[in-house]
Structure 1
Amino acid sequence: MSPPPTSVLLPTTRWTPACDEVAAQLAEDDELLVVCDAETDPVADHVRDQPENVRLVVAGEPSGCSGKANAIAAGMDAARHDRVAWTDDDFRHPPDWLAGLHADYERHGPVSELPAFVGRDPLSMLLEPVYVLGGTASVYAGDMVWGGAVLFERDDLEVDAFLADLRRTVSDDGLLSEHLDATAVRRTRRVEIGGTVRESLERHVRFTKIAYAHDPVGMSVSSVGITGLVTASLLVPVYAFVVAALLFAGCYAAFGIRRWTAVLGYPALLASVPLLAYAYARRTFVWGGRRYRWRSKFDVELVE
């Protein structure tokens, strides 16, 4: 049986290979909503040359939420179908990507894939083991949602309540994880991150604040536990290095991630302690060219 008509939301300001890849997978009644901030974004002209089932949605400037949350909210309002997929423009979508999500939905209901973050600068490469632990393994273990590859139907959650909350927060997938009972499948997508140390610092601050905003108790316990573990490991650094490398290599293998950075497990854990303190101390962070002050889950200020 064919899946029902589906709306795919893809927030971006420029046309990337991911846009072509997703557009090529649409069935006759599906639609791809390319969501940008303004008519002047480079992606706008490109969308006008696409087939009718590829539509442009102009979200406008965010107010009281992140640009990503604002884009997803606008896309959800514009979507014509009850089955909805979210995705991003920064990873490869193989020809069976959308079909795979449909098949998973038939087995599990709402479903999400997993990100595998790959660094492009020294800091983001160093932190890859931390992100495999916190951004891949923990999403899978907790059946959380990754906004880069998630599929659900409107009846699977209270859409109006979700959108009202979305328009006053930062993390689209962090919030969706609280509103949607989803299954995370053990299938990863390689997402390149960073580029400069400054970009990687800002991303790490954002990741840390997202984790704390949506699970303050769990994040606090994890922070204390990591700090204590790292402090104790300083007494036997050679053994700690070997054990961490082996454990992270096993974690990488479990999710099909083939990266040499598994050997950086111990230095990554060492670096995570001062970076946690740095992230907690930061009052603002930059994401997508905008600076945010995020006081609590539903208290977001855009800083000029």
Structure 2
Amino acid sequence: MDAPTPIAVILPTTGWNDVCEQIADQLQPDDELLVVCDEFHESVADRAEARDGVRSIVAGEPEDCSGKANAIAAGMEAADAERIVWTDDDFSHPSGWLEKLRIDYDRRGPTSELPVFVGRDPLAAVLEPTHAISGTLAVSLANIPWGGSLVFERDDLDDEQRFLDELRQTVSDDGLLSEHVEFTTIKRPRHVEIGGSTRETLENQARFVKIVRYHDPTGTAAQGMLAAVLTVACLLFPLPMLALTTLSMAAIYAAFGIHRWTFLAAYPVALAAIPLLVYGLARRTFVWGGRRYRWDGKFDVTIEPL
């Protein structure tokens, strides 16, 4: 039997945590886990040194890009393997997670799993139907890569150095990757908690809207048209639309194994679709990961004081 293809797992994080342990336990002998932090953490370096195949990488402070994009770029430059996995530390990585991605690539080439966003505060919970549509259903149907769990190889990039240079000038790592590599999205959802406070949820809303604006402007226009049609229909035919939106959302939840009561919020969320889109487009800055970003163009990013 042939030896498994070596994989480099790039994990941006702020410190050693349970996800680091989960992934380290899944490494094959030639795999590596790169735990990427903005600055040196002795505890991370010590824990990484104690595990076979694990390295601590210091990305440094981002200048013209997001901290996540900067960390991914640093991880890719430090990685030895040709096959690359990107992942995040905000969801559980059960046994077999890495091996499934290895098999996915062997069968399908560049592959991504799916996010299911679960709200940690009341507003984020109520907005779960919007994420089920745009963050799960649309990602699945359009084969859009999700940076939380994906696999590809360096040769899949048309120009790796150009990609890394662009990565250090933008906010969305997976949004940029979608323009360089064609992915197949696997219907294998991973539940990711988001929010935590009303302010954080609103910051996420602004960031999500801007990602679509700069990486899929046609999608933003389509989203606006659909939201307008839904709003008018909900206002003109409230009872039928209440039933239709609720049942449709329940079907989407069932299709992706989402067992949450929040499908019941589908009707009010449909009414709020236009205000939410306008809010995201109108915001000049947003906070993400402890930094405030002004994102005025795909490659026009400024980090401002909090």
- Shorter-chain TM-score bucket reads over 0.9
Q: After the TM superposition, which parts of structure 1 deviate over 6 Å for at least 4 consecutive aligned residues? A: none
| In 1, Cα distance between equivalents of 2:291 and 2:20 | 23
Q: What residue in structure 1 maps to residue 93 of structure 2?
A: 93
| In 1, Cα distance between equivalents of 2:282 and 2:150 | 32
Deviation at 1:23, TM superposition (A): 0.5
Q: What residue in structure 2 maps to residue 151 of structure 1?
A: 151
Q: Secondary structure at the match of 1:63?
A: coil
**Deviation digits for residues 19-57 of structure 1 (CA, Å, limit 9, x no counterpart):** 111110000111100000001486445434x32411000
Cα RMSD after superposing both structures: 1.3
Q: Secondary structure at the match of 1:292?
A: strand
Q: What residue in structure 1 maps to residue 167 of structure 2?
A: 166
Deviation at 1:185, TM superposition (A): 0.5
**Deviation digits for residues 149-208 of structure 1 (CA, Å, limit 9, x no counterpart):** 101111111211211111100000011111111100110000011110101000110000
Q: What residue in structure 1 maps to residue 110 of structure 2?
A: 110
Q: What residue in structure 1 maps to residue 193 of structure 2?
A: 192
Deviation at 1:273, TM superposition (A): 1.9
Deviation at 1:148, TM superposition (A): 0.7
Q: TM-score, normalised by structure 2?
A: 0.96
Letter in 1 for 2:166: D
Q: What residue in structure 1 maps to residue 133 of structure 2?
A: 133
| In 2, Cα distance between equivalents of 1:124 and 1:230 | 20
What are the equivalent positions in structure 2 for 1:237-276 lying under 5 Å apart? 237-276=238-277
**Deviation digits for residues 221-240 of structure 1 (CA, Å, limit 9, x no counterpart):** 21122123212211222221
1:25 aligned onto 2:50 = no
**Change over 3 Å in CA distance of 1:275–1:5 after alignment to 2:** same
| In 2, Cα distance between equivalents of 1:42 and 1:281 | 41
**Change over 3 Å in CA distance of 1:89–1:196 after alignment to 2:** same
Letter in 2 for 1:18: V
Q: What residue in structure 2 maps to residue 123 of structure 1?
A: 123
> What is the count of residue pairs matched by the alignment?
303
**Change over 3 Å in CA distance of 1:282–1:108 after alignment to 2:** same
Q: What residue in structure 2 maps to residue 207 of structure 1?
A: 208
Deviation at 1:16, TM superposition (A): 2.0
| In 2, Cα distance between equivalents of 1:283 and 1:12 | 26
Letter in 2 for 1:109: G
Gaps of 5+ in 1: none
| In 2, Cα distance between equivalents of 1:272 and 1:291 | 25
Residues 13 and 41, structure 1, Cα contact 8 Å, conserved in 2:
no
What are the equivalent positions in structure 2 for 1:211-230 lying under 5 Å apart? 211-230=212-231
Q: What residue in structure 2 maps to residue 35 of structure 1?
A: 36
| In 2, Cα distance between equivalents of 1:23 and 1:261 | 34
| In 1, Cα distance between equivalents of 2:42 and 2:290 | 13
**Deviation digits for residues 232-265 of structure 1 (CA, Å, limit 9, x no counterpart):** 2112222211111110111111112221111211
**Deviation digits for residues 114-138 of structure 1 (CA, Å, limit 9, x no counterpart):** 0000001111111111101000111
Residues 292 and 303, structure 2, Cα contact 8 Å, conserved in 1:
yes
Deviation at 1:289, TM superposition (A): 0.5
Residues 13 and 42, structure 1, Cα contact 8 Å, conserved in 2:
no
Q: Secondary structure at the match of 2:4?
A: coil
1:182 aligned onto 2:163 = no
Q: Percent identity?
A: 54
Gaps of 5+ in 2: none
Q: What residue in structure 2 maps to residue 51 of structure 1?
A: 51
Residues 14 and 41, structure 1, Cα contact 8 Å, conserved in 2:
no
